[in-house]
Structure 1
Amino acid sequence: MLAKRLQLWRSTQAVFTLNSTATRTSIQMFSGGSNRDLHLSSSWTNQLNKRMIAAPLIPLNAPGPGIIRFASSKKEIPVESVPTKELVDLPAIPDAPIAPPTEISAISSNFVGNGEPSFASIGLGGWSPPGMVQNCMEFLHCTWDIPWWGTIAIGTLVVRTLIFPLVILAQRNSAKMSNNMPQMQVLQLKMTEARQSGNAIESARYAQEMMLFMREKGVNPLKNMIVPLAQAPLFISFFMGLRQMANTPVESMRDGGLFWFTDLTLADPLYLLPVITSATLYLTIELGTDSARLSAANMSTMKYVLRALPIVIFPFTMNFPAAILTYWACSNFISLGQVALLRIPAVRDYFKIEKMLSHPPSALIAKKKGFVGGMKESWDNMKITKEIEERQQLDEIRFAKAGKGPLVKTYKYDPTKPHSTPVNTNPNPLKSESQFTSNIKSTSKH
C-alpha cells in the first residue's frame, strides 16, 4: 500500500514537471524560434495535456462513488448533501475613466503666447498698483512681441499722455500768476512786514486781501503742484514694479535692452543712464517743469531745492537696474517735449493758455536774488517766525499765571479795605496852609 502511494506521488510530480517544461519551451520558441518550431511546441503541449486528462489523479483512500471524505473530519458526507454555489452573471466591468488633462492645462497656463513663463507663475502681477503695471508690461511685451526697452517706453508714453490735461491746467494757472505778479508781490510784502513786526491783525488783513485777489483773478498756487502730486504715485508704482521684475528676475529682460545696456536687470556698467537721467531732470526744472515755472517769489526756495535734486540723487541712481533708469529717462524726455510743445503760440492759443506778459524790473518789488541770498532770506524769515511764536507762547503763559497766582502789589494801600482819613499831626496849621497855597500858585504858573 505504501509503495503504491509513493508511485502515484512520483507520477504526479513528473507530470507537473513535464507540463512546466513544455510551457517554458513554447515561450522560448515563441520569442526566438520560427513558425514551424512554434507549431511543434504547441502540438507537444496539447498531447501532454490530453494524457493528463485521460489519466486523472486518484485520491488517496478514495471512498465509494457518490461519497466525499474531508481531511478535517473522518465522517463521510454524500455528494447530494453538499451545498452548491450558484453562478451569478455579473455585469461587464466598465472601462477605466480617462483622467482630466489637469496637468497639461496647468503646464500650459504657466506659459504665455511667446513661450515665456507667465508673471503669475513667478510671483509677479496682481491687483496692487505695481502688480497692475507689471500686467500691462506683460500684455504689451507678449501680445505684440515688443522688446522690453520698447515696452517700458510705450508704457511711459501712455501714462504721461493720460495726465497731459493736468499739465494744461497747471500751465494756465502759471500764466495767470505771472501776469498778476506785481500786485501779488505788493500784498505779499505788506503781509511779511506785518508778520515780522508782530502785528497779527495787519498780517491777517493782508492775507485776507491776498486770498480775495487770487480768487478774483482765478489764481491758485496749489494748482502748480497738481502734476507732481499726480505723478508721484505713478512713479512709485513703476519704480517698484520694474524693480521686482529685475530682482526676480524676468529672464527675457537679460537681453531686452538697447545699445550698451542690453541687460535691464543690472546697473548700467558705463554709468551713462544715471548721467542722462540727472541731466534731463535738471533741464526739465530749468525750462519750466511739468507744472509751471518756479519764478514766483513764493516758489524761489522750492526752485533751489529742485535744482540741487539731480546732484543729490546721482549717487543713488548709479546702482539702480537699467529698467528703472530707462523709465525715468523716457519720462524726462517726454516732459521736455511737452515744455517745448507748450512754448508754441498756436498750441497755447488752442489750449486757451494766456500769453505771459514781461514785466519791467521796476514794477517788481521783490528783486531776484541768488541762491545764497534766497537761502539767507528764507532762514531769516524762519527765525523771525519762530521768535514770534515763542513770544506768543510766553504771553499766554504769563496770562495764565496772572489769572491763577496771587495779586502783585502795585499800590500804596489796599483798595479792598476802607481808606481812613489821615490825622494832621502838624502843630502849626497856619504854616501848613500857607505852604499849600504857595504850592498851588507855583503849579498854576507852570
Structure 2
Amino acid sequence: MLAHRMQLWRTTNAAMAMTSAAGRFTPQASTGSRRDLYLQRITRGSSLPLAAPEKWSNLGQLRFASGGATAAGVSATKGEEFMQAVPKTELVDLPDIPAAPVPPPADGLNVMDVMNAAGEPSFASIGLGGWSPVGMVQNCLEFLHCTWDIPWWGTIAIGTLAVRTIIFPLVILAQRNSAKMNNNMPQMQMLQLKMTEARQSGNAIESARYAQEMMLFMREKGVNPLKNMVVPLAQAPLFISFFMGLRQMANAPVESMRDGGLFWFTDLTMADPFYLLPLITSATLYLTIEIGTDSARLSAANMNTMKYVLRALPIVIFPFTMNFPAAILTYWACSNFISLGQVAVLRIPSVREYFKIEKMLTHAPSALPPKKGFVGGMKESWDNMKISKEIEERQRLDEIRFAKAGKGPLVKTYKFDPTKVAKPISAEPHMRLKEPPNKQG
C-alpha cells in the first residue's frame, strides 16, 4: 500500500513538472489533472480495458461520473501529449434511476373484502370462514354480529337457539319413543330377564326364542331403542362445528371478541378466571342427563348401567373445560339451558297432547324386577360376560370334536367286536348235563 502511494506521488509530481515546463500549468488545470490521476489510480486496480488515445482527443468535452465537470484549462490539441503520460479508461454513462414500481392491481377487491359492515376485519381477511361446516358456522356468526350489531355473547346465544330449534323435531321423536318405552317397561323387562336366564343356563335355543319375542313386541308397540340416540347423533356434528369454529375465532383472534362477553367474562377469547362458566356448564349437563331431555329416562332397563357412567361425565370433563375459551363455554351452557327449557315445555300436558306424546305411566314396584343397585348391576354384568365366554368356549370345543370325529380314525367304545364270529360250543359227553334221577324209580 505504501509503495503504491509513493508511485502515485511520483507520477503526480512528474506530470505537474511536465506541465509547468511547457508553460501550461495553472491552478485550474492542476485540479483537473489531479482528478485524472485519481481516476487512473482507480482504473489500475480494476480489469476494465484502457481506452485508446484517439478517443480522448476532445478532452474539453469529457465529463466525469463523480462531478460531471469538464477538464478545465486543457485544450483538444495539447491534450494528446498529456494523454500519452496519463492513460485513461473509457467512461460509460450510467443508466437513469428506474421509476418506482407500480402497485399490483386490486383484482376486483374493495374495502368491503377487508372490512365488514361493522368496520372490523372480515373473517376472510384473517383466514376464517369458508364452505366447510366450521366455516359456515363462522360465516353465520359474522353475519349476525355485523348485520344487527349484536355483541358476541348474544350472537353465540342466538346461533345456539337457531340450531336447537332446527333439531327440535328430533327431540319430539325421542320423547315419543321414551314415553312408549316407559309405558311398556314391565313386559320388556320380563322378556329381558327370561332371555338372560336362558343365556346363563346355556340354552341357546330358548335365548334366541325370547330375543325373537322381544323384537316382535317392540315392533308391535312401535318402540325402538335406537331412536333415543337420534338427537345425540344429530347434535354431535353441530357441536363439533361450533366448538372448532369458536376455538379458531378465539385463537385468531377476533379483536371484537375481547370485549364481547357479559358480566364477569368480558373477554371471550380467554378462559374464565373465576371458573364459574365451567361449573355452570357441568351442572347444566348433569341436569340434562338426569332428566333425560334428549333420550330415554335413565331408569329404563337399557340404561341401568349406563346411567352411572353418564352421571360421572360432568365431573370428568370439568378439568378439561377449565381451560376452554369463554366463547366455547358460552355456547355449551346456552345449549344446556335450551335443553332444560325444552323439557320443561314438553312436560306440559297440553303440549304433550299437541305433539302426540303419550302420558308417562307410573308402574308399581311389584310389577318391575327388583333393582340391584350399582354393585349388583356390575356383578350381574360381569357374570353374564363370564357365562357368555364359557358358552362360546364350549361351542368351539364341540366344533373341534365334531371335525375330529369326521376326519380321524374310529374310536372303539365297546369290548365285544360284533364283526368277529365267536367259536360255537361243542356238545361233548362230559359237557352234557345229567338228568336228575327219578324219585319214583
**TM-score in terms of structure 1 length:** 0.70
Cα distance in structure 2, aligned partners of 1:187 and 1:281: 33
Which digits, 9 at most, give the CA deviation of each residue in 1:73-116, with x for residues without a partner? Answer: xxxxxxxxxxxxxxxxxxxxxxxxx9996278355412111111
Match runs of 1:64-103 below 5 Å: 102=106
| Equivalent pair of 2:246/2:328 in contact (CA under 8 Å) | yes
Which digits, 9 at most, give the CA deviation of each residue in 1:178-231, with x for residues without a partner? Answer: 111111121111111111111111111111111111111111111111111111
1:425 Cα deviation (Å)?
7.8
Amino acid corresponding to residue 161 of structure 1 in structure 2: T
Match runs of 1:377-388 below 5 Å: 377-388=380-391
Specify the alignment match of 1:421 in structure 2. 422
Cα 1:251/1:206, change in 2 over 3 Å? same
Cα 1:331/1:426, change in 2 over 3 Å? farther
Alignment of 1:398 with 2:401, yes or no, is yes
1:165 Cα deviation (Å)?
0.7
Match runs of 1:37-76 below 5 Å: none
Match runs of 1:210-249 below 5 Å: 210-249=214-253
1:419 Cα deviation (Å)?
2.0
| Equivalent pair of 1:266/1:322 in contact (CA under 8 Å) | yes
What's the Cα RMSD here?
A: 2.4
Specify the alignment match of 1:38 in structure 2. none
User: Which of 416, 426, 430 is the equivalent residue of 2:432?
Assistant: 430
Match runs of 1:12-411 below 5 Å: 102=106, 105-364=109-368, 366-411=369-414
Alignment of 1:412 with 2:415, yes or no, is yes
Specify the alignment match of 2:33 in structure 1. none
1:350 Cα deviation (Å)?
1.1
Cα distance in structure 1, aligned partners of 2:424 and 2:142: 108
Q: Secondary structure at the match of 1:283?
A: helix
Cα 1:426/1:389, change in 2 over 3 Å? farther
Specify the alignment match of 2:13 in structure 1. none
Unaligned 5+ segments in structure 1 are 1-97, 435-446
Which digits, 9 at most, give the CA deviation of each residue in 1:370-389, with x for residues without a partner? Answer: 22222222222222222222
Cα distance in structure 2, aligned partners of 1:246 and 1:389: 53
Which digits, 9 at most, give the CA deviation of each residue in 1:319-341, with x for residues without a partner? Answer: 11111111111011011111111
Runs of 4+ in 1 over 4 A off after TM superposition: 98-101, 425-428, 431-434
Unaligned 5+ segments in structure 2 are 1-101, 437-441
Which digits, 9 at most, give the CA deviation of each residue in 1:386-425, with x for residues without a partner? Answer: 222222222222222332333322133556xx42223548
| Equivalent pair of 1:267/1:322 in contact (CA under 8 Å) | yes
Cα distance in structure 2, aligned partners of 1:403 and 1:131: 65
Cα distance in structure 2, aligned partners of 1:292 and 1:318: 30
Specify the alignment match of 2:17 in structure 1. none
Cα distance in structure 2, aligned partners of 1:138 and 1:186: 54
Specify the alignment match of 1:68 in structure 2. none
Cα distance in structure 1, aligned partners of 2:247 and 2:434: 103
Cα 1:259/1:207, change in 2 over 3 Å? same
Cα distance in structure 1, aligned partners of 2:150 and 2:432: 122
| Equivalent pair of 1:168/1:351 in contact (CA under 8 Å) | yes
| Equivalent pair of 2:156/2:331 in contact (CA under 8 Å) | yes
Which digits, 9 at most, give the CA deviation of each residue in 1:347-367, with x for residues without a partner? Answer: 111111111111111111x22
| Equivalent pair of 1:426/1:432 in contact (CA under 8 Å) | no
Amino acid corresponding to residue 286 of structure 1 in structure 2: E
Cα distance in structure 1, aligned partners of 2:311 and 2:397: 39
Aligned residues: 334
| Equivalent pair of 2:141/2:155 in contact (CA under 8 Å) | yes
1:288 Cα deviation (Å)?
2.1
| Equivalent pair of 1:175/1:353 in contact (CA under 8 Å) | yes
Specify the alignment match of 1:31 in structure 2. none
